[in-house]
């Protein structure tokens, strides 16, 4: 019997010839993970994941309408983070810049900048690309997992009043701090964020490898 999985839609905006990246959704793995969280399989047919080119304040968000659920994932912002970091890596590697490397909170290691200054350019940039891709995929997937928790909670009937009315006033700092839906999703995201097996539910990578 074929396993039921949430549907995936790749928006036509991703066919833009100017896009330097590609995105892949692991439907089977997402389906298994949703089952692990306790979400009934018969709800999978009411769940859609939509990936599109674009930019917004959140990398992922959830919508509910007429008993169906849609998780939207946008890709431009996370890819811009990777490209800007790689531009900095190239300047260090080719000696264009000797400024102290700053990859923000992307990497746990602080040694990449020094490594790039000493290693052969090709090898150094390949290594940098691998580290930075791991970082942006961790960020993308953790945002996705945040919305997955909202999905699971809504399907289970949790926090009904908050999901119905709380989001209307969530922009108020006090409301946002006490919103149980956000607390639940944030704890879920934090727990799974650094699990390596959770970094390829969604994968974004360059069309051309360095």
Q: Is 14 helix (H, G, I), strand (E, B) or coil?
A: helix
With both helix axes pointing from N to C terminus, report the angle between 76-93 and 121-155 in degrees, rounded to the nearest 10: 160
Six-digit token pair at 67?
């008993």
Name every residue whose Cβ is closer than 8 Å to that of residue 55 and which is 6 or more positions away in sequence.
74, 76, 77
Find where tokens 């209307």 sit. 168
pLDDT, residue 210, reads 72
Six-digit token pair at 159?
């926090």
Write out pLDDT tens, residues 19-46: 999 999 999 999 999 999 989 999 999 9
Higher per-residue pLDDT: 58 or 15? 15
Six-digit token pair at 104?
């923000």
Write out pLDDT tens, residues 89-135: 999 999 887 776 667 678 887 888 889 999 999 999 999 999 999 99
Write out pLDDT tens, residues 154-200: 999 898 877 776 555 555 555 556 788 888 999 999 999 888 888 89
Neighbours of 147 (CB within 10 A): 23
Q: Where are the domains of the chain?
A: 7-78+132-206
Does residue 48 have a pLDDT over 70?
A: yes
């Amino acid at each position: 019997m074929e396993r039921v999985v949430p549907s995936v839609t790749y928006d036509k905006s991703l066919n833009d010839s100017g896009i330097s990246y590609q995105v892949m959704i692991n439907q089977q793995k997402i389906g298994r993970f949703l089952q692990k969280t306790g979400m009934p399989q018969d709800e999978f047919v009411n769940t859609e994941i939509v990936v599109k080119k674009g930019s917004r304040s959140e990398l992922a968000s959830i919508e509910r309408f007429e008993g169906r659920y849609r998780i939207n994932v946008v890709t431009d912002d996370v890819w811009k983070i990777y490209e800007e970091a790689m531009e900095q890596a190239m300047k260090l590697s080719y000696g264009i810049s000797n400024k102290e490397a700053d990859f923000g909170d992307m990497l746990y290691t602080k040694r990449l900048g020094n490594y790039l200054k000493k290693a052969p350019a090709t090898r150094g940039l390949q290594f940098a690309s691998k580290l930075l891709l791991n970082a942006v995929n961790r960020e993308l997937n953790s945002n996705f997992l945040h919305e997955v928790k909202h999905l699971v909670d809504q399907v289970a009937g949790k926090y009904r009043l908050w999901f119905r009315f709380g989001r209307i006033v969530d922009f108020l700092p006090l409301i946002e701090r006490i919103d149980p839906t956000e607390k639940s999703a944030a704890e879920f995201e934090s727990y799974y964020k650094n699990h390596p097996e959770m970094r390829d539910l969604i994968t974004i990578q360059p069309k051309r490898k360095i």
